Amino acid sequence: MAMTKKLGGALVGAILVLGSALPLTAEAQWIFVAHRAMNRIQQVTQDQDSGQGQNAQTPQRVTQVATVILDVPAKRVYDVATNATSNNQNVTVVSNDPASMTIKVKEGDQSATLAVSALNKNVSQLMIVGSAPAGQNPQTSRIVNAAMNLCNDMGKKCELGTN
């Protein structure tokens, strides 16, 4: 009977140890993936197809998205982005919303929205979405350059990821 109690206690102890270790393993894997994604700029470009029911008079637009995860608090990323857009004489700041940490800018007939999201206390995501008339200089490079410049302003070395 005493042996059964000892085995039962050992079994319960082993289950508790394993049960608490499994979330740590999953968290460790997530941290590994996050570190691999850190400071890597990902980009996507979407061309609007003229066959999507658009009026022939309406100019086609191209939309680009660049995103990067940074080991920087979201407030700092937002403050650096606000400072950079305010000091850039080539763009007009259309709106700047500290509550949602979004900034909308315009340069001629091109526009972009910067959004900062807190992933945790010290990690954030910067997303830049831009739109421009089709056929103009690749807006993607402007958006990626903007993300690179913001990384540099925060002392981070970002690189373009492979899609």
Any idea what the CATH number is for the domain that residue 108 is in?
Answer: 3.30.530.20
| Per-residue pLDDT tens over the stretch 80-121 | 999 999 999 999 999 999 999 999 999 888 889 999 999 999
Number of domains within the chain = 2
Q: Which domain holds residue 9?
A: 1-37
Same domain, 121 and 56: yes
Same domain, 102 and 154: yes
Same domain, 63 and 113: yes
Same domain, 93 and 141: yes
| Per-residue pLDDT tens over the stretch 66-78 | 899 999 999 999 9
Is the pLDDT higher at 146 or at 36? 146
Cβ density class 68-86: b for 16+ within 10 Å, e for less: bbbebbbeebbebbbebbe
